């Protein structure tokens, strides 16, 4: 049988996915957050590597849509911000912010290809605070605007 440990916060009777995702969220947002939760549970259970960079990568992958700061990550992983950045860079060969940006851009590409959501909505879903910053960052990484990418790659839904 397929068994894994359930995190303690899932055992409380008041827990619901609506509380996790927020009642004002869209179906896609709730689906994304639910997927992230399940992926987090499974990856924590089956993960064989326990390096700091692996743990951070898992966190970023599962929380890419949130406002994430280095200060928050340092507190979350109980380490100084300097040590967090230094160790991550040494282990992963990149910065935490660069990794988070790459994850967000990859998620945005998927949403642009497979949904009819606006560029602004997709940017917000991927953790970008402003539409203009999303467009600028997307173009820096893909050499295309999000709208241009969407038009070129959009699959019929």
What does the pLDDT read at residue 118? 92
User: Per residue in 72-117, pLDDT tens?
Assistant: 999 999 999 999 999 999 999 999 999 999 999 999 999 999 988 9
Position 32 pLDDT exceeds 90: no
Q: What is the CA radius of gyration of the chain?
A: 17
Produce one character per residue of 109-129: b if its CB has 16 or more CB atoms within 10 Å, e if not: bebbeebebebebbbbbbbbe
* Residue with the larger pLDDT of the pair 45 and 94: 94
Q: How high is the mean pLDDT of the chain?
A: 83
Residue 14: pLDDT band (50, 70, 90) is very low
CA–CA gap between residue 4 and residue 39 (Å, rounded) = 12
Residue 29: pLDDT band (50, 70, 90) is confident
CA–CA gap between residue 30 and residue 12 (Å, rounded) = 19
Measured between alpha carbons, how far is residue 32 from residues 20, 21, 62 in Å?
A: 11, 9, 9
């Amino acid at each position: 049988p397929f068994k894994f440990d359930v995190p303690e916060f899932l055992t409380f009777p008041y827990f619901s996915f609506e509380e996790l995702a927020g009642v004002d969220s869209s179906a896609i947002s709730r689906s994304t957050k639910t997927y992230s939760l399940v992926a987090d549970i499974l990856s924590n259970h089956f993960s064989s590597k326990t390096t700091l960079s692996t743990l951070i990568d898992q966190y970023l992958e599962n929380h890419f849509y949130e406002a994430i700061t280095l200060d928050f990550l340092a507190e979350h992983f109980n380490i100084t911000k300097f040590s967090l950045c230094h160790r991550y860079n040494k282990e992963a060969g990149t910065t935490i912010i660069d990794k988070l940006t790459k994850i967000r851009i990859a998620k945005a590409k998927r949403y642009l290809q497979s949904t009819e959501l606006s560029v602004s909505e997709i940017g917000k879903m991927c953790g970008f605070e402003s539409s203009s910053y999303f467009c600028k960052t997307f173009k820096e990484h893909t050499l295309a605007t999000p709208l241009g990418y969407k038009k070129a790659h959009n699959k019929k839904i």
